[in-house]
Amino acid sequence: MKLALREVSYALAPSFIAQCAVDALIAEARLTPKPALVDERGSGAHRDLDLDTMLRSADALHPTFLAIARAACDVRPSQALREQLARIGREGEAAMMRATNGSNAHRGAIWIVGLLCAGAAMHAPGDSDAICASAAMIARFDDRYAPISATTSHGARVSERYRVAGARGEAHDGFPHASRIGLPALDAARARGLGETDARLDALIAIIASLDDTCLLHRGGWRALQAAQDGAKRVIDRGGAGTHEGRAALALLDAELLALNASPGGAADLLAATLFLDSLRRLA
């Protein structure tokens, strides 16, 4: 894929891309009430995370997203870029772990939002499709220097066991749960006149209803995934987060996932990706 000079000339500054990425992580963390996820109410199904930890993690990742955006400026997707971004991402993961005292707050988001930062450095901010396409092209190159731990992570093992795409497949496919599900749900909710909190909750619920979330599968198997998808569809069928019936269904979903000690962490990462893309297109 050859980048047009016109596209590059309209790309945002790396510092601005990085701040948009951090802001998206913060917005996702603060969004309340989310089912079994960390939010303003508490830790959800996570014993080692709380809102303060999530916010520290997001702030600690600013240098990572900045380095990713700088590396991707005025270049095309390539093997060399893929491996450079992977190295930056591993350094970012180490910084996250230091900031959270060893808790995994945003490992998935480093991969997903990080790749989108790279795509954003290559294109005009309003071109979400092009941003996702370039990010996907980068993701499809192998990281020849990936540590063995990358192939034995919870997400990798769950993807293999349950034969689901996982975060890697989501990236290879161009982030469809952000661009084709999250963003349209956000737009539809806003078009109905909903406030921003309810619109973002509707986007999250739409993602949960569709995504084969490896975080849910890791913690609760098919039972947890089915409960999450069925519960999210109930919220949608009852009018979404902006209705009394939808909020009641959302509360029931929260209780069901807490009872299973499972949370839709993959959907949360993709909501952050959705909010990141949304923040860029609103600048166009």
CA distances from 222 to 5, 10, 65, 90, 154 (A): 47, 45, 34, 30, 15
What are the 10-residue block averages of pLDDT along the chain, 284 residues in total? 45 94 98 98 96 98 98 96 97 97 95 98 94 98 79 74 90 98 98 98 98 96 97 98 98 98 97 98 86
Helix axes 265-281, 14-30, angle to 10 degrees: 130
CATH of domain 5-143+163-281: 1.10.4200
pTM of the model: 0.93
How far is it, in rounded angstroms, from Cα 205 to Cα 235? 7
The domains of the chain are located at: 5-143+163-281
Q: pLDDT for 210-264, tens place per residue?
A: 999 999 999 999 999 999 999 999 999 999 999 999 999 999 999 999 999 999 9
How far is it, in rounded angstroms, from Cα 70 to Cα 73? 5
